[in-house]
Chains A and B, each alone.
Chain A
Amino acid sequence: MTTTEKMKRSSRWFMLGAFLVAGAAFIVIAWGGINKNLVYYWTPSDLFANGDKAYGATIRLGGMVTAGSIKNKAGVSGVEFDVHDAGKTVHVKSSGVPPQMFREGIGVVVEGTMVKGGYFQCNRLMVSHSNEYRAPKSGHPIDKKELERLMKSTEGMDAK
């Protein structure tokens, strides 16, 4: 083996080592970044089951708007309502303007977090809908699949 070949070899090992170190560092950073920024897809029951973890975590909460719970604040855009599933109810405060279809008894997904005041602070409110036409009925049983689909949608982009 000539010296140049030896040098080539050692530089190749050096390159490989550098790549491994860089790769490992990247994975550590990415892993930490992902774990810090997870968005959980929960129902009200899941939210209660997770206890303190719900405070400060980003959550997409899916459930139904409880009948008689919607309170529009006069003069401002915000809205308050309850979201429930079979077992639990969560009080939600939203600062934005709700979408057109928002009403009692409809499936909704709200994105936000639990705050210490004991309510869910919502940044985004999405209403369950499907592409097939069905006459909107208040109080029809919760469509779990539909809610799951909505939870995973990003502003309707999946409808493409």
Chain B
Amino acid sequence: MTATLGRFLILASLLVSTLGAMISYAAGRKHAPEGVRWAQRFAYFYAALMVGAALVMEYALLGHDFSVGYVAHVGSRSVPTWVTVVSLWSSLEGSILFWGAVLGIYIAFATYLNRAQHLEYMPYAIGTWLACGAFFSFLLATAANPFLTVPAAADGPGPNPLLQNHYLMVIHPPFLYLGYVGMTIPFGYACAALLRGRLGLSFLKPMRASLMVPWIFLTCAIMLGGWWAYEVLGWGGYWAWDPVENASLLPWLTATAALHSAIVMERRGVLKGWTVTLIQASFLLTILGTFMTRSGVFNSVHSFTQSAIGPTILAFLAAVLIFSIALLAMRIDTLEAEGRIETAASKEGAFLFNNLIFILLTFTVLIGTVFPLIVEAVKGKQMSVGRPYFDAMVVPAGTALLFLIGIGPALPWGRSSRQQMIKALLPPIVTGGVLAALGAAFGIRNGWTLATLFVGGYAAHVTLAQMWQPLVQRLRRGDTFGNALVNGQLRRGRRRFGSYIVHAGAVIVLIAIAVSSTQRTSHELRLVKGQSTTLGAWTLKFLGTEIRQEPNREATIARFAVTKNGQAVTTLEPRMNQYPTMREPIGTPAVHSTVKGDLYLSIMNLDGDSAGIMVLWMPMVGWIWFAVILMGIGGLVALIPPRGVIPSEARDPLPASDASPVRASA
């Protein structure tokens, strides 16, 4: 019964999205106000159906209805309720259903926010969103159907133990999906601009905002993925250039580039086609990422066709790619530049360099990720691209980006005099030098790390100076501190202020990555109960092991007393969790975090009173998580629209009374 209802909702959503997409595009071409209203209704209807289907699945999961295929696949009576709730995204079919529901919510929100404005673009945008929605409904109706009826069993196996093993694995996937799926919205706007053959500056606002929302989620998702790897996998790192990780990084790189080029577009009226291209690329890369992580193509190039999901997503990827390229080729000329960039030694020049580096990074990661697939498909040889390739390419690019975080904001827009340049660019060198000297005093000898500290100090100086500039100006004019803070930072220049918070976070992240990856020390050894080992100032004494029965697993916990310079600090309890459905126990390391760094203890094996352990000192790692959250907060600050200030051109007239001629429709 539940399965039938679910299947009905999926089929209805397929019908609604397909019809809705066609009606929306027709409404866009005909400039019919009534058609626009119908497009909106279809968008809301699609959202309701998809959210409904996801809720039906949650109902089935919580009710342990094992006659529903997906519940029989991932459900279990013996797991805690929270695990049952998040089982929705623990496996393939459910995660596609979750994707559809998230897409529905995004579409409904974007449609509602623009229900009375940008109406000459909106039908094209809604049409594009619903066309994407139709694909996911199709996937749910065919290859990834979670609502198949199966013979009801008494109990199920439960979701992948890795999901149950750590709470980060519970919040990482939703963030990733909110980031991935959200890229559909700016993609729809970009296609709408091209289809309409015009991209007015007023339409840039919803486009930027719609890009910022998934960017925030994706930023946090990438960090959460790294944090999870660090807290769970036990090898003491957070990033391995694994295809799964790269898949989440690629759209982030292009989306970040697009957020920057959109600023140049707003200020100078140039780079319209380029920004649109970057937005389309971001969406394409999310689909590519879904293909890479969901089709199993990295397990074997030749076996991914065994399930229909891989080829279906690949076909969609090809269709979107062809559609995007064709649309760009036919319409990019209609997005005419309204200004020009005069000199490279300007803020807009720095933005161009920023975009160039982000594109190079995208290609670096893309090539390194896809190369083994091509070699295997063509030559049948199996290999991968090692970490040194990524490090060698990405480290210089990352350092250059960090330098640009300093130079770009310091430079004025347009041409400036030599004196202005010197005044803007010279003082931060002092801060950079101080930070690098500080690093050297702490024993850092790695050239790239010292360079990162120098440009990081430079960037930090500029960022902080720019961040508080409005406040300082207001204080000089005799404003009270409270007024200056609220008016200068939060009310008027909120977007600017938010961007600099993001920059500050990025500076910290890049420095922390450089320091933690080059300054770590580690130690692998075997300890018998009562023995101890030292790493730097730390001493760890192995106290013994304990076996603890938990509802869904059996845990073997090793206990270590930690002392620093002879003083007791804490007890670390790395553990091995044995799940009934897995042959090998999952080790979970224990981490003692301090401001300076983390003491990381991982058990490789336990054999009676003897433990094989890996002890690591990871300096500054905690700064990464904290600073990425800061970046997310900065993005939120920049996103909140300034209240009470409605730009005169924000409310576009209804298409019927559209005064400006639509050039491309001729």
Residue A21 at the chain B interface, CB threshold 8 Å: no
Also in contact, A77 and B385, with CB within 8 A (given A30-B393, A127-B584): no
Q: Is the CB of A100 within 8 A of B606?
A: yes
Determine which residue in A41, A77, A100, A132 has the highest number of CB atoms from chain B within 10 A of its CB, and name it. A100
Q: Chain B interface mostly helix, strand, loop or mixed? A: mixed
Q: B602's closest neighbor in chain A, by CB?
A: A97
Residues of A within 8 A of B293 (CB): 160
CA A30 to CA B382, docked complex, whole Å: 19
Contacts A99-B604, A133-B583; is A37 near B244 (CB within 8 Å)?
no
- Which A residues between 123 and 139 are near B, CB-CB below 8 angstroms? 127, 129-134, 136
With A39-B385, A96-B614, A97-B612 known as contacts, the answer to whether A159 contacts B525 (CB < 8 A) is no
**B389 to A37, Cβ gap below 8 A?**
yes
Query: In the complex, which residue of chain A has the Cβ closest to the Cβ of B605?
Result: A100
A85 at the interface (CB under 8 A from B): no
User: Considering only CB atoms, which chain B residue lies closest to A75 in the complex?
Assistant: B526
A33 CB–B CB distance under 8 Å: yes
Contacts of B229 in A (CB 8 A): 155, 157
The stretch of A63-71, A114-122, A144-152 in contact with B is: A144-152
* CB pair A41 B384 closer than 8 Å: yes
Decide yes or no whether B109 CB sits under 8 A from chain A. no
Q: CB < 8 Å: which of B240, B363, B576 contacts A155?
A: B240
Q: How far is the CB of B335 from chain A (nearest CB, A)?
A: 15
Q: Which residues of B contact A133 (CB under 8 A)?
A: 580-583
Given the known A-B contacts A131-B582, A158-B244, are A39 and B383 also in contact in the complex, defined by CB atoms under 8 Å? yes
**Which residues of A are found within 8 Å of B371, using beta-carbon distances?**
34
In the complex formed, the residue of B with least CB distance to A97 is B612
Find out whether the CB atom of A38 lies under 8 angstroms from the CB atom of B386. Answer: yes
Pairwise interchain contact A160-B244, C-beta atoms closer than 8 A: yes
A3 at interface by CB-CB < 8 Å = no
Assembly CA distance A46 to B84 (angstroms): 45
Q: Judge if A2 is at the interface, Cβ distance under 8 Å.
A: no
**Is B38 located at the chain interface by the 8 A CB criterion?**
no
**In the complex the two chains form, is A26's CB within 8 Å of B160's CB?**
no
- B367 near A102 with CB under 8 A, answer no
Q: Say which residue of A58, A130, A148 sits within 8 Å of B583 (CB atoms).
A: A130
The CA-CA distance from A96 to B161 in the complex, in Å, is 26
Does A48 touch B at the CB level, under 8 Å? no
Rounded to whole angstroms, the CA-CA distance of A33 and B371 in the bound complex is 12
Chain B residues whose CB sits within 8 angstroms of the CB of A100 once the complex forms? 576, 584-585, 587, 604-606
Interface residues of A in 29-51 (CB under 8 A from B): 29-30, 33-34, 36-41
A96→B298 CA distance, assembly (Å):
28
Tell me whether A154 and B524 are in contact (CB under 8 A). no
Residues of chain A within 8 A of B241, CB atoms compared: 154
Chain B, residues 582-622, CB within 8 Å of chain A (1/0): the string is 11110100000000000000001110000011100000000
When distances are taken between beta carbons in the complex, the residues of chain A under 8 Å from B368 are 30, 34
**Count class of interface residues, chain A:** 35 or more
Interchain CB contact under 8 A, A39 and B384: yes
A97 close to B605 (CB less than 8 A) = yes
B551 at the interface (CB under 8 A from A): no
Partner of B526, one of A29, A38, A97, A152: A97
Q: How far, in angstroms, from A139 to B613 measured CA to CA in the complex?
A: 27
Docked pose: A33 CA to B388 CA in angstroms: 8
| Complex: A101 Cα to B578 Cα, angstroms | 12
Knowing A36-B389, A136-B583, say if A77 contacts B612 (CB, 8 Å).
yes
The answer on a CB contact under 8 Å between B605 and A131 is no
Q: State the CA gap A158–B384 with chains docked (Å).
A: 14
List the B side residues contacting A41 at CB < 8 Å.
Answer: 382-384
Q: By CB atoms of chain B within 10 A, which of A76, A102, A160 has the most?
A: A160
- Residue B4 at the A interface, CB < 8 A? no
Does chain A have a CB within 8 A of B480? Answer: no
Given contacts A129-B584, A133-B581, contact A34 B367 (CB under 8 A): yes
The distance in angstroms between the C-alpha atoms of A134 and B580, with both chains bound, is 11
Establish whether residues A157 and B525, one from each chain, have CB atoms under 8 Å apart when the complex forms: no
Cβ–Cβ contact A97 & B299, under 8 A: no
Q: Given A39-B384, A41-B384: A96 and B233 within 8 A (CB)?
A: no
Let me know if A148 and B382 touch, CB within 8 A.
yes
Residues B382 and A131 in contact, CB atoms below 8 Å apart: no
Separation of A148 and B382 alpha carbons in the complex (Å): 9
Per the bound structure, the CA–CA distance linking A101 and B607 in Å amounts to: 11
Q: Is B235 an interface residue (CB 8 A)?
A: yes
What's the Cα separation between A39 and B385 when bound, in Å?
6
- Complex Cα gap A60–B372 (Å): 14
Q: Which residues of A lie under 8 Å from residue B649 when comparing CB positions?
A: none
Q: How far, in whole Å, are A155 and B237 apart by their CA atoms in the complex?
A: 10
CB atoms of A159 and B160 under 8 A apart: yes
Beta-carbon nearest neighbor of B386 in chain A: A37
A38's contact among B300, B383, B393, by CB below 8 Å, is which?
Answer: B383
Q: Which chain B residues border A101 with CB–CB below 8 Å? A: 583-584
Do A30 and B363 contact each other (CB < 8 Å), given the known contacts A97-B525, A149-B299, A151-B382?
yes
Q: Which of A34, A96, A136 has the most CB of B within 10 A?
A: A34
A141 within 8 A of B: no
A130 to B240, CA, bound (A): 21
Q: What's the Cα separation between A15 and B393 when bound, in Å?
A: 24
Q: Would you give the shortest CB distance from A108 to chain B, in whole angstroms?
A: 13
Taking the closest CB of chain B, its distance from the CB of A132, in whole angstroms, is 8
* Docked-complex contact A148 and B300, CB < 8 angstroms: yes
Q: Distance in Å from the Cβ of A112 to the closest Cβ of chain B?
A: 12
CB nearest neighbor in B for A8: B340
Of chain B, the residue at the smallest CB distance from A40 is B383
A148 to B614, CA, bound (A): 27
Q: Enumerate 10 A-B pairs (CB-CB under 8 Å) in ascending A order.
A: A34-B371, A38-B384, A40-B383, A98-B605, A129-B582, A129-B584, A133-B582, A136-B583, A152-B299, A155-B235
Q: Which residues of A contact B (CB under 8 A)?
A: 22, 26, 29-30, 33-34, 36-41, 58, 60, 76-77, 95-102, 127, 129-134, 136, 148-149, 151-152, 154-160
9 smallest A-B Cβ distances: which pairs?
A: A97-B612, A37-B389, A41-B382, A97-B604, A154-B242, A37-B386, A129-B584, A100-B605, A37-B388
6 additional A-B pairs beyond A77-B612, A154-B242, beta carbons within 8 Å, are A22-B356, A129-B582, A154-B241, A155-B233, A155-B240, A155-B242
